[in-house]
Structure formats: structure tokens, C-alpha cells
Amino acid sequence: MSEAPRDPPGPAVSLLRWALPDDVVGSSILGDLYEEYDEIAPHAGVRADAWFWRSALVLTVRYALVGARTHLTRSDSLGGVVMESWTTLSADVRFGIRMLAKTPLLSLVAILTIGLGVALTTHTFSSVHGAILRGVPVPDNDRLVYVGQNNLELGFTEMEMSLHDFEDLREQQTSFDGLAAFYQGTTNVAGEEGPPERFAGTYVSSNFFDEIDVRPALGRSFRVDEEGPDSDRVIVIGHHVWQNRFAGDPGIVGQSIRVNGVSTEIIGVMPEGFRFPFLEDAWLPYRMDAGALERGAG
């Protein structure tokens, strides 16, 4: 008879939830910690608990006691020279968790934007399409454009875009039919039974599926009121996650699961084969409010 899977120490998890930012950064850090714990717990036993506690204390000191939370609310961490892609941040945080010799990189996730329409040709922004985007499983993919930001003074091109810049561009631009934002994160999904399982996830603006003209096969996509920091936790899952993790349950919409340790309602299931933009298995609203962030000069 196999031994029941261990859970991370509850007080350490509570400490992390207090210390980490309540957004995709904190959620993904927690997800990585859960994944590492699940890997080492079966053979490490109580040593896995000690490892989790040490990780929790290191992250608490870094984020709560050294002012990281203040830095994580400033938009100058999103723009200009210090802007990093979420992929880089996620890799750095994962390395820090595993090695415990360094603390995770302090940086907010950057926003990647996509749009439908003609390319924007001003000196401020750049667009990329063609072979990279023509093969994606969305209607009219030849009109799909990736929009990045340039800093000509520093020689940086195709940089990811800050949340403020994305909101400004979405309101002021006239070259696109619409703009949506996405960035990658970590999703550890657990149902009522069994250990959590990690899936590739993307955090998106509420209009993401509308802009690429793809609808869930079951349920619905996101509403505008679900992308704010205080909104209800909801998720849209991929078809193969629905089939493999939840046995194709036709009543899955409306059920609650745990995503990165937080109760989250499944509101939709995407069509079979849809995994845009980066072979994703799950999509969540980005739950960030540009109005609550201090606008930087960058």
C-alpha cells in the first residue's frame, strides 16, 4: 500500500502567503515550491519539511522584511532597462529555490502583447509575425501580430511591454482591431483527490480569447471584472487537462479545484488541440491593476 503524499508544513505555507505578492509572481513561486516539495518528499521525509521551511524563511526575508513588496508595486521595475520577461524571472526564481544559495530575482513580470491588425511602424514599438505566428491554431493567424517595445537609446529591441504601456497603447492605438496581453506562469493543479500536477500556464487579459477569436468548448472565457487584484479566482483549462486530469467530466464547469494551493473555479474548457500561445494547458486572468501601480518615468 503506497504512502499518502505529504503536504508542505501548513504554517510555512501561511507565512509565504503573507509575505509573497498576491499576484502571478507569488503564485508561481508557490507553485515551484510545491513542485520541488512533491519531488523530494517521498524519499526525504521530514527533511523535505525542513527544506520547505528554509525556503519559506529565505523568501519571507527577501520579500517582506527587505522591502521587496514595495519594489514589486513600482512600475519602474516593469519598464526601461530593468524590465525582464516572465520566462527569465521564473527561471531565476526556480533556480534560487533549488539552490538556496541565492534569493529570487526581484522583478515584476513583463507584459507581452498581441494584437490583430496591421503592424505598428512607429519608432517606439516593433511587431513580429510571419512563420512564428502563422502556424498557431487560431482563425486568421496571418493577421496575428506580436507587439514589443524598443529602447533605441540603449539599443534594446523587441522588449516586453510594461502594464502601463500596454494599457496606454490599448486605449490610444488605431492600428489594431484590438490588443490583449499575456505572460507565462506556473500552475499546479489539484482536485479533491491526488497530489498536485504541474501544467504550463499563461496569465492573460480578460479579452485574450476574444481577440484571437477562439471560444471555450465548454463554459465561458474571462470577464473584465475578473482581471483585477481582488477578483474571484477562476481558470480556463485545456482539453487534454480536462480529459487526463478530470476524466472528461461533462460537469467540470463550475467545479472548484486548487491552483497553486488556492481554491479556483473552472469556468471553461478550451477546444481540443488549442494550446496557444506557448503550448499552454491552462489560462488565468492576470489579476493586476495598473491604476494601483505607481507610474515610472521609463
Write down the domain spans for the chain. Answer: 12-109, 112-181
Q: In whole angstroms, give the CA distance from residue 249 to residue 19.
A: 36
Alpha helices in the chain (DSSP H): 10-19, 24-44, 46-60, 68-71, 86-99, 131-134, 163-172, 208-212, 239-246
What would the pLDDT profile of 41-50 be if each residue is shown by its tens digit? 887 777 788 7
Q: When comparing pLDDT for 243 and 89, which is higher?
A: 243
- The whole-number average pLDDT for the span 29-40 is 82
Tell me the pLDDT band of 257, cut-offs 50, 70 and 90. very high
pLDDT value at position 53?
A: 84
Place of cell 534569493: 103
Distance of CA 73 to the CA centre of its chain: 17
Query: Contact 90/29 with Cβ under 8 angstroms?
Result: no
pLDDT of residue 264: 94
pLDDT tens digits for 124-141?
334 444 334 555 667 777
CA distance 99 to 294: 33
pLDDT of residue 145: 74
Query: In whole angstroms, what is the distance from residue 67 CA to residue 71 CA?
Result: 7
Instruction: Write the pLDDT tens digit of every residue in 101-117.
Output: 333 332 222 223 333 33
Per residue in 211-234, pLDDT (tens digit) is 888 999 999 999 999 988 888 999
Of 62 and 233, the one with more pLDDT: 233
Per-residue model confidence as pLDDT tens digits over 141-167: 777 777 766 666 766 655 667 777 788
Which pLDDT band, with edges at 50, 70 and 90, does 289 fall under? low
Mean pLDDT (the chain) is: 70
- In this model, does residue 267 exceed pLDDT 90? yes
Summarize the confidence of residues 194-200 as an average pLDDT. Answer: 81
Annotate 32-66 with b (16+ C-beta within 10 A) or e (fewer): bbbbbbbeebeeeeeebbebbeebbebbbebbbee
In the predicted model, is pLDDT for residue 52 greater than 60?
yes
